[in-house]
Amino acid sequence: MAANIFTNLTTPNGIRYRQPLGLFINNEFIESKSEIARVHAAGVNDVEYAVHAARQAFEGAWSDVAGQDRSRLLYKLADLVEENAQVLAAIESWDNGKPYSTALLEDIPEVVDVFRYYAGWADKSYGQVIQTRGTQLNYTIPEPLGVCGQIIPWNYPIVMASWKVAPALAAGNTVVLKVSEQTPLSALFFASLVAPAGFPPGVINIINGFGAVAGSALASHSDVDKIAFTGSTQTGKEIMKLASSNLKSVTLETGGKSPLIIFNDADLHAAVSAAYPGIMANAGQNCTANSRLLVQEEVYDRFLKLFKAKAVSDAKIGDPFAEDTSQGPQVTQAQFNRILSYVQSGKDEGAKLVHGGKAYKNLNGKGFYLEPTIFTHVTPHMRIYREEIFGPFVVILPFKSEAEAVKMANDTEFGLAAAVFTRDIARAHRITRKIKAGSKLSLVSNALRL
């Protein structure tokens, strides 16, 4: 095994560990044909090797593993993640920029919970016997699809990996997971736990690489039975086109511009306390972030005042490894610049910047930090109202009636999430039925971890 497949690293908070750098295929780390800094990037041939390994495992030993045994393996993997929580959290913070405390106390426990949840389902897959005429017997047996290609983004690297990998394994599939080129390190360390957990070679394969190369090769591969993707809407459309080459099953979770509606009877302090992390958590880099706050006009001014005060009091911007940090840097300079371009767009189109909108400069010039940004006087034709920005950036608009709130909430090309604040439970149920979104919440924001 080549020496440059691993390196010994020390995280900023002093944790020393062995960091894998290669591609994890067939239960071992290998080199790729090209190297990006010290992390290997998969090419088309590497994807071919990973898919072949997954196919061989699926048609070989893995197909004979009973649900109870898959459950045991998933529980063991969850235990190993829990045992290595501090290392994984440090890697996640270092690589992504999120606060270490968030990674340690929220992200890693969620990963453990996800694996344990699906471990519990691995032996609980039931078929049906369907009544027919005469002597015929008609029944169904759930069967795994086969090789699952999975592509995840950079905002919650290890959490997203668990969301994709755990259910696929519980159902008896094998996986090839392509992680984001911006944040590969935590998934690679996670891969080092796969063999110790007892998984046969080829069941879990994790590759680094760029979407245009590795992602495209995986999505279009004729021997991949399903593709599951989380990322931008535009990339999701391309994934769907590529997947059509062999009519593989496709699951897409794409962009969002999620509304949070606050009615005039709502507890405004509770609404602000929920809405602020609903957009600003993870430096605003959330698929379901409530980036459009729609506030009934009778309480609009009061809500805006409270929300701005919250931005001043709660935005502890700084070193992700500092204990009091609540907001770290944006993931890359490109994302940092993209968000600032939307600030300029908002100004150019006539919106009013009432808070933030600039780089946070009090950190010795290091890191891509942004102040929480709030725009008012926004109209539906503006880019900052319609487009997903993916940063600590919110627009706050007034509405008059329930009907207008619903119309504004549904005025989007997306439909990922929505939330409602009101004391009227009948109204809450009525509104959530009318909003066109996949995930709808009442009296909580989209930051809630279920």
- Nearest Cα neighbor of 155 from 288, 293, 273, 21 is 288
Residues facing residue 399 across a β-bridge: 296
Cβ atoms of residues 386 and 284 within 8 Å: no
The CA distance from 374 to 342, in Å, is 12
- Nearest Cα neighbor of 329 from 391, 378, 261, 384 is 391
Q: Is 253 a catalytic residue?
A: yes
Tokens standing for 443? Answer: 């009296």
- Nearest Cα neighbor of 148 from 231, 98, 74, 206 is 206
Residues facing residue 397 across a β-bridge: 294
Cβ atoms of residues 356 and 370 within 8 Å: yes
Q: Alpha-carbon dihedral of residues 414, 415, 419, 422, nearest 10 degrees? A: 100
Expressed in angstroms, the distance from the first to the final Cα of the chain is 42
Residue type, 200: P
Cβ atoms of residues 207 and 47 within 8 Å: yes
Choosing from 92, 181, 253, 388, the catalytic residue is 253
Strand ranges across the sheet with 249-253: 28-30, 23-25, 204-207, 174-178, 147-151, 226-230, 249-253
Residue 72, Cα to own-chain centre: how many angstroms? 26
The DSSP line for 109-166 is HHHHHHHHHHHHHTT----EEE--STT--EEE-----SEEEEE--SSSHHHHHHHHHH
Residue type, 25: I
The CA distance from 437 to 415, in Å, is 4
Residues facing residue 419 across a β-bridge: 260, 441
The CA distance from 160 to 179, in Å, is 9
DSSP class of residue 30? E
Report, as residue numbers or ranges, the catalytic residues: 253
